[in-house]
Amino acid sequence: MEDISLHLLDLAQNSIAAGATLVEFYIRELLKEGCMWLKIRDNGKGMDEHQLNQVSDPFYTTRTSRKVGLGIPLFRASAEATGGSLQVMSRKHEGTTLLALFYTRHIDCLPLGRPEETLATLIFLNPEVNFVYNHETPGRQFRFDTREAREILGKVNIADPIVVDWIREYIRNGIEELNGGA
């Protein structure tokens, strides 16, 4: 993957495949410590112990077999390449949470990329799913929740291209301000 926001898109696809109706992204940048926490949480069908062991095994490599998938091993590799880590937590019928630590000053740390494009893509393709994007930097917070947007939109479809386009700009703007913009 070229950047972290593409990983987030890919991981949210797992959540949607698991029947999630709510997918939440939490990003917390700790500038002094030079690290970033990423959490992806869903209320999908979760994993049983066997599945969880497979995706949690840090020694599992993507080479051994295709049937176990690429998404989580690739995300783990991206985190570990910075000296960070990935934790997968899941409960059958309750949901799944991924928690990753990235050391952002490490030369191999991927850029965050464009989370607004990931959210726009997800909303456009999954109008029935709710998403939360919560991004924090020291002393600042930006939060977007599709449930609040829906309340304003009433009968208008949240996946309408005009709406999605506005949401993308809204999130882009919010992230810019976190980074000391305007």
Partner 1 sequence: MKSLKELEEIKQRTLDSVNLRKERTGGTRVVVGMATCGIAAGARPVLLAFLEEVKKRNLGDVTVSQTGCIGVCRLEPMVEVTRPGEEKVTYVKMTADKVKRVVAEHIVNGHVVTEYTIGAAE
Ligand X SMILES: Nc1ncnc2c1ncn2[C@@H]1O[C@H](COP(=O)(O)OP(=O)(O)OP(=O)(O)O)[C@@H](O)[C@H]1O
User: Where does this chain touch partner 1 (CB under 8 A) — which range of 30-38, 77-85, 99-107, 155-163?
Assistant: 155-163
Which CB atom, from 34 or from 71, has the smaller least distance to Mg ion? 71
- Rounded distance between C-alpha atoms, residue 86 and residue 47, angstroms: 16
Q: Is 2 in the site for partner 1 (CB under 8 A)?
A: yes
Q: How far is the CB of 33 from Mg ion (least distance, A)?
A: 29
Select from 58, 78, 59, 68 the least CA-distant residue to 1: 78
- Name the residue nearer to partner 1 (CB basis): 105 or 147: 147
Angstrom distance (rounded) from CA 8 to CA 75:
9
Determine which residue in the list 1, 18, 99, 132 makes contact with ligand X, applying CB under 6 A.
18
State how far the Cα of 101 lies from the Cα of 37, in Å rounded to an integer. Answer: 5
**Rounded to an integer, what distance in angstroms lies between the CA atom of residue 65 and that of residue 33?**
37
* Burial of residue 120 (number of CB atoms within 10 Å: 0-12, 13-18, 19+): buried
Which residue stretch of 11-19, 25-33, 102-110, 139-147 sits at the interface with ligand X (rule: CB under 6 A)? Answer: 11-19
Site string for ligand X, 71-90 (x = CB under 6 A): xxx-----------------
CA distances (Å), origin 110, targets 51, 75, 77, 126, 160? 27, 11, 11, 27, 31
- Write the single-letter amino acid at 79: A
Shortest distance, position 132 Cβ to partner 1, whole Å: 14
35/119 with CB nearer Mg ion? 119
The string of DSSP letters for 129-177 reads: SEEEEEEEETTEEEEEEHHHHHHHHTTS-TTSHHHHHHHHHHHHHHHHH
Binding-residue total with partner 1 (CB under 8 A): 37
Q: Is 47 in the site for ligand X (CB under 6 A)?
A: yes
Binding site for ligand X (CB under 6 A): 14-15, 18, 42, 44-47, 51, 55, 68-73, 96
Binding site for partner 1 (CB under 8 A): 1-2, 6, 9-10, 13, 17, 69-71, 74, 117-118, 120-121, 124-125, 148-149, 152-154, 156-157, 160-166, 169-170, 173-174, 177, 182
